[in-house]
Amino acid sequence: MAGTVPPGCADLVEAVQTNCHIADARHAADMTLCTYLLQMREFHRWERGLGFGAALDRGAVGAWLAEREALWTTLEEQAFRPLPLPDGLSLDPFDVAAVNARLAPAGLHYGAGLVGAQRPVFFLAERHAVLWRDGLEVQVAGRELARGLVAPPAALDNAAGRAAIVLRRESLARWCWEKFEAFTLRRSPGSPFHAVVQAYALDDGFDAALPRWLDDFSEAVILHELGEHRAGQRLGTRWADMRLSLPGRRADLHARALRDHLADLGVTLPTLLDRGASPSIHVWFAGFDGVRESLFPDLKHAYHAWQQGDGGVALRHAAVAGEAHFWSLAQQVLDLHDRGCERAGAAIDALLTSPQAVCRG
C-alpha cells in the first residue's frame, strides 16, 4: 500500500487489501499473459509508492511477483472478509452505501462491485470531491490506500438503488501514464494519441502536463458515465439479466462495447463537440480500439474529417447514425433474450459478432 494510513484505519485498509488479493487470486488468470504482466508491473509501482516512469529492477519485480503469486495460492479459496470500520462496527464488504456512510467523517471513500459478470473489485481511497451532475452524485476518489490488480477508473454505482458515478483519479492517472509510456516506446505520428501528446505538451514533461489532462479526461469520463446512466434507464434491468445469460467472454465484450457506444454516441462525443473540447476528443479516439472499433470502423473516418477542419459535421452525422444503429441492435438483443429459449445466449452471441452488428453509418 502506498502512502500513510489515516489514524484508526489500519485494520480497515488491511481488510480491503486482503479482499483485493482474494479477488486477484481467483481471477488474475483470466487475463492474457501480456496484459497480466503489464498490470502487475504498474501494480508493483503503486504498491511500492514509485513515481510514474520510475526505473524498475527486474530482479526485485520478479521476486515480488513470485511472492504475490504464492500469497494468492493461500487466499484463493477464502471468503471475502468483513470490514472493520473506525467506529468499531464491522460490515459486509459489498454493503457499499453503509460503509461509505460511516467512512465520511474519516474523509475516505470505499468501492466494491463487479467487472463483467463475475469479477469483483474493491478499493479504498481518500475522498477527493463530491459533485452533482444532471441529478447524479459524482464521488471522486483520490489517493488510493488499497486496490487490486484490476482498477477501473470509473463506474456507475447503483448501490442502495440510487445511481452515482464513482471516479478514481489515481487509477485514471495511471491509465494516462500507461498510454504515454506505450507511445514513447513506439511513436505513431499522426495517430490520435500523437495529437494528445501535442495538445497537452506531454513530451515537455509528463508530471507537469498531467493535472490539465487529468481534469479534462475526468470530465470526459463523467460524460461517459452520464451516457451510461441514460442508456441504462432506457435498457432497463433486462440488460443486466441478458449479460448474465451470455455463453462466454466474447459475447460479454461485444455487449459491453454496444452499451459504450450508446453512451458515447448519445452523450460524450456530442457534448465534447458542442464545447469545442478538441484535446478530449483526441483522447477519446486514442482509446477507441478493440471491439468498439470493430463494431463501428467508419467512425475514425469522421474523426479524420474533423481533424481536417470540417467543423465536426461528419462526426455529428456519424454519432446520430451510430446511436440509431446500436439502439436497434440492443433491441434485437433484448428481443432474443425475452424469448427465453435455451439457445438465446448463443443466438445473442451470434448476432453481436455478425456483420449485421457492425455500423456502416
Q: Once rounded to an integer, what is the mean pLDDT over residues 143-169?
A: 87
Model confidence pLDDT, tens digit, residues 309-323: 999 999 999 999 999
Model confidence pLDDT, tens digit, residues 99-134: 999 999 999 999 998 876 578 999 999 999 999 999
Count the Cβ atoms, other than its own, within 10 Å of residue 27: 19
Largest Cα–Cα distance of the chain, in whole Å? 61
To the nearest 5 percent, what fractions of the chain are helix, strand and coil? 60, 15, 25
Q: What is the pTM of this model?
A: 0.90
70 pLDDT tier (thresholds 50, 70, 90): very high
Retrieve residue 285's grid coordinates.
Answer: 479516439
pLDDT of residue 255: 96
Bigger pLDDT: 320 vs 157: 320
Percent of the chain, pLDDT > 90? 77
In whole angstroms, give the CA distance from residue 95 to residue 89.
Answer: 13
Q: Once rounded to an integer, what is the mean pLDDT over residues 277-306?
A: 96
Model confidence pLDDT, tens digit, residues 20-63: 999 999 998 888 888 888 889 989 999 999 888 888 899 999 99
Q: Once rounded to an integer, what is the mean pLDDT over residues 64-72?
A: 95
pLDDT of residue 19: 97
Q: Once rounded to an integer, what is the mean pLDDT over residues 300-309?
A: 96
Contacts from 199-206 at CB under 8 Å and sequence distance 24+?
Answer: 199/278, 199/279, 199/282, 200/279, 206/52, 206/53, 206/177, 206/180
Strand partners, 131: 138
In whole angstroms, give the CA distance from residue 77 to residue 98.
Answer: 26
Is the Cα torsion angle 76, 80, 86, 88 positive or negative in sign?
negative
In whole angstroms, give the CA distance from residue 292 to residue 153.
Answer: 18
SS3 letters across 19-44: HHHHHHHHHHHHCCHHHHHHHHHHHH
- For the cut 80, the answer to whether the pLDDT of residue 339 exceeds it is yes
Lowest mean pLDDT among 57-66, 74-83, 152-161: 152-161
Q: Which amino acid is at 209?
A: A
Q: Once rounded to an integer, what is the mean pLDDT over residues 256-269?
A: 97
Model confidence pLDDT, tens digit, residues 158-202: 765 678 999 999 999 999 999 999 999 999 999 999 999 999 999
Residue 253 · residue 193 · CB < 8 Å? no
Retrieve residue 274's grid coordinates.
Answer: 458542442
Phi, psi of 68 (to 5 degrees): -65, -45
